Structure 1
Amino acid sequence: MAIISTTSTAPTSSMEEVLKLPDGRTLAYSHSGPSDSKLVLIWFHGLFSVGDAANPPKPIRERNALFIAPTLPGWGNTSPTLPGKTFAETVVSDTLALLEHLRPQPSNDSLRIYVAGGSFGTVPTQIVFGAPYDRFPYGRHIVGMLLMAPFSPFREDVNYRKGLCWRDWISVGPLTRIVPGRMVQRLMKSALAGKVRDVASAEAFLQKEFFADMDEEEKARYAAWRERTGERGGGVPAKDGGGDGEERERVVGGIKEFDEEHARKPVVLALGRGDTSLRGMAKFLQESYKNVRVEEYEGGHLASAWSMDEVLEEMFTAGGD
């Protein structure tokens, strides 16, 4: 897909590339925009997705920003976490290695970084946002965060399970931590395998999950989004529920323990009014982060995606860009 031209002569790319990491793993990623841009947006995808920066939304293009979309550990062509390593420390080290590769940092650099993600992707987004600077030096350049249909850190949000629909309660609720041997996750994997055994089955599964219950207003916003972005069918991130509850419980350090520099950075929350399972988690985040804005949209889990340009403008405005 075409990238709007910039005045920079630095190379741009939208094809997936693979970076060999110091720990022997591989990290798949996509990026577009000028590699020497002072403005960077890192987007973390959700489940059933991979990093894709091929079609940056208008607010990113207009600002000539470098748009980076890594593929998370264990998804697509990115290696899983190594034995003995947590998801959190792997995400931080992978993101650090990718930035050092794509955007080496001069000592006098005026770099400005935003981190963003949707649904499960809000988990790694919060990990990187809150990472200590000694582990993630680029964190000093983070100026804002966007969380769309966000998950809260389960270790801190002790009431996260309240308000979950029964399906989400099973997939990410207390059972995922109580039942030994990660049996719940294994059963879910088996149940999903048949639903995504090929492209046709996967498309039917996702259509049923996310589009069957849309009301007329959300259908209209979705249709406008498709027209605006040129999506013909599919092209929509799958619902990012489910996954490994044990990892989610420990992915984020204490939000309430942030130092002053971390705490003052703006956070934008975007969610659908009908996404009942995540409303309680969003409320917890709203009460926990010190500098937060909330944007709500009519619709369900994907509601904010149909207003991506508007949400990104809100993020950039909050961060001063």
Structure 2
Amino acid sequence: MTALLTHHYPDSNIHDIKLYIAGGSFGTVPAQILYGAPYDKFPFGRCILGALLMGSISPFRYHKDYAKCMTWSNYFMSGPVAYYMPFNLTARLMKFVLARKVATVEGAEAFLRETLFDRMDQAERETFARWREAHGRALGEMERRMAEDIVKSVSKSWVGLMLMPPVLHSDWGFRPDELDEEHSRPHVLLTAGKDDHLAPVAYSHYLAANYKNAEIKYVDGGHLAINYHIDEVWAEFLASEQ
């Protein structure tokens, strides 16, 4: 990221740059790594004005109760079993199983419906329908787009999936409760779906209790629910950083 930002702002004074970092689900991990990175490793960290973490994952190394709110599938895929299993065997098994399911867009779409869309309760289905209509999305369009992205993401490499368990359990370079005042200056807005089974609310509770300048915005629904409120979430986030 330092190389990328230096490339984009070669002649800029670092003090004139303003950065907003954001991530969703597993993407909140690299966002947090940038937020807490030592400035000698990531000088642009001094430019961060705020961090938006949607459906957050907490640092398993320090969040001792992280596994208590996991579903059984997550417990085996990225929880204690994945951590203690030698040779990253659970990730290898997960790749073997998923490779068949997401080999085609149709297969990936069926997988998404099984794990996310079919888990919605009636209230969330109605909210999703209103959101889809308001944004001009055809029935099934969101599912199809997400499925296409999944197929594309693993078309050349499964490295991202294979690294998931070791990264979630690794040292991210800092402890949230030990960040100094300068690192804690940027505001952290956490958004959490009340019924999210992939990124449980307990993870956001941990982060809110350990980051010194954090707050939580709750939304009704599961792992996809933040999408229905994304415009208001971004508006609230950017307004708070002005």
Smaller-chain TM-score bracket:
0.7 to 0.9
2:54 aligned residue: 148
1:274 aligned residue: 195
**1:278-305 deviation per Cα after TM superposition (whole angstroms, max 9, x unaligned):** 2221111011011112111111111112
Q: What runs of 5+ residues in structure 1 fail to find an aligned partner?
A: 1-94
- The one-letter amino acid of 1:298's match is D
Partner of 2:16, secondary structure, is coil
Select the structure with the greater relative contact order (CA < 8 A; seq sep ≥ 6): 2
- Answering whether residue 151 of structure 2 is matched by residue 213 of structure 1, we say no
- The one-letter amino acid of 2:204's match is A
Report the alpha carbon displacement of residue 213 of structure 1 after superposing the two structures with TM: 1.6
Once the two structures are superposed, the pairs formed by residues 63-212 of structure 1 within 5 Å of their partners are 95-104=1-10, 106-107=12-13, 109-212=15-118
The percent identity for this pair of structures is 39
- TM-score, length-scaled by structure 2: 0.86
2:176 aligned residue: 255
Report the alpha carbon displacement of residue 255 of structure 1 after superposing the two structures with TM: 1.2
- The one-letter amino acid of 2:12's match is P
The alpha-carbon distance between structure 1 residues 241 and 209, as it changes in their structure 2 partners (threshold 3 A), is farther
2:155 aligned residue: none
In structure 2, C-alpha distance between the alignment counterparts of 1:220 and 1:103, rounded to whole Å: 45
In structure 2, C-alpha distance between the alignment counterparts of 1:108 and 1:177, rounded to whole Å: 39
Counterpart selection for 1:302 from 224, 227, 230: 224
The alpha-carbon distance between structure 1 residues 231 and 135, as it changes in their structure 2 partners (threshold 3 A), is farther
Q: Structure 1 or 2: larger helix share?
A: 2
Q: How many residue pairs were aligned?
A: 225
Report the alpha carbon displacement of residue 216 of structure 1 after superposing the two structures with TM: 2.6
In structure 2, C-alpha distance between the alignment counterparts of 1:151 and 1:225, rounded to whole Å: 25
- Answering whether residue 132 of structure 2 is matched by residue 226 of structure 1, we say yes
Q: What runs of 5+ residues in structure 2 fail to find an aligned partner?
A: 151-159
- TM-score, length-scaled by structure 1: 0.65
In structure 2, C-alpha distance between the alignment counterparts of 1:142 and 1:305, rounded to whole Å: 24
- The one-letter amino acid of 1:275's match is D
Report the alpha carbon displacement of residue 144 of structure 1 after superposing the two structures with TM: 0.4
In structure 1, C-alpha distance between the alignment counterparts of 2:217 and 2:68, rounded to whole Å: 22
2:156 aligned residue: none
In structure 2, C-alpha distance between the alignment counterparts of 1:230 and 1:212, rounded to whole Å: 21
Report the alpha carbon displacement of residue 230 of structure 1 after superposing the two structures with TM: 4.0
CA RMSD for the aligned pairs? 2.2
Q: Structure 1 or 2: larger strand share?
A: 1
- The one-letter amino acid of 1:295's match is K
- Answering whether residue 150 of structure 2 is matched by residue 244 of structure 1, we say no
